Amino acid sequence: MAKYTKIFAHRGIMDEYPENTIESFERALELEVDGIETDIQESKDGHLVIIHDEKVDRTTNKSGWVKDFTLSELKRMDAGYRFYGCRSDFKIPTLDEILSLLIDRGFNGELNLEIKNDRIDYYKIEEKVLRLVNKKKCPFKIIFSSFNYHTVARMHHLDNNYEDAQLFRIFKRKSVKMLQQHTIQALHTNIIGYHLNNFKNINCVNRIWMVNKTISIKYCLNKYADAIFTNHVREAQLLRKKIQGY
């Protein structure tokens, strides 16, 4: 059992700022979060960009697939348009920019990088991510995660100095096999999966995503889950203080 449950800012502080923007991550740093979670896609010209969806429609003033736009085109989009319902100055950042921000601000928590390779097979994105991360010499812990089993296994094969985690909604025995083979070191499931599965019998780190309702936050805190990914960091921090005394 964990001494306390770590709280990860899911795509930054997305209940205050547009998700996966520099400003959202800066706010997470102000709140001194234990961890930050974000998502990596790839632009048409091979740049690693920070955006959750494979398409830009939900979060920007444009429409289309991320993979069909160059970095310059993505940078001209308004990443706060859907959040505010009007024009804004928020931009889609690159992975390089986010890593530089965290390094410059002295971040000493954990950064979870989800490689969005489950719907679109970005060619050798694993190598590109590792090349950049290793080049930046990040002083904080980095966790790689994906719903794509092959991506997780490939990350481990390329560089086993990082923690690799399997994302899933419905628990599969394949994850246990990957744990036994030390291909992964952590399981990331949603709140329903955490409730339905007995993780006490599995010796690994368990982090729970989509923990946004008050009842769900309390449930995970009372169970002393290793970590939660939440859109409501301040509420989770207050509840942790009350329930776990931390």
Q: What is the pLDDT of residues 91-105, one digit of tens each?
A: 999 999 999 999 999
Q: Is 156 a catalytic residue?
A: no
Which residue range is the domain that position 133 belongs to?
Answer: 6-54+95-244
Structurally, how many domains does the chain consist of? 1
**Direct distance between the N- and C-terminal alpha carbons of the chain, in angstroms, rounded to an integer:** 15
Position 37 in a domain: yes
The total number of residues shown for the chain amounts to 246
Per the CB < 8 A criterion, the answer to whether 141 and 109 are in contact is yes
Looking at the predicted structure, is the pLDDT value of residue 199 above 70? no
The total of other beta-carbon atoms located within 10 Å of residue 24's CB is 27
**Domain holding 19: CATH number?**
3.20.20.190
Classify residue 135: in a domain, yes or no: yes
Q: What is the pLDDT of residue 173?
A: 67
**Catalytic one among 47, 52, 157, 195?**
52
Quick check: 197 pLDDT over 90? Answer: no
Query: At residue 172, does pLDDT exceed 70?
Result: no
Mean pLDDT of the region 141-152: 96
User: pLDDT (tens digit, 9 = 90+) per residue, 213-243?
Assistant: 999 999 999 999 999 999 999 999 999 999 9
Q: Domain for residue 186, yes or no?
A: yes
Taking residue 2's Cβ as centre, other Cβ atoms within 10 Å add up to: 13
pLDDT of residue 183: 84
Q: What are the tens digits of pLDDT across the range 23-50?
A: 999 999 999 999 999 999 999 999 999 9
Catalytic-residue membership of 52: yes
Residue whose C-alpha is closest to residue 144's, from 225, 207, 200, 51 = 207
82 falls within a domain: no
Q: Comparing 176 with 142, which gets the higher pLDDT?
A: 142
Q: Domain for residue 85, yes or no?
A: no
Bridge partners, residue 52, by sequence: none
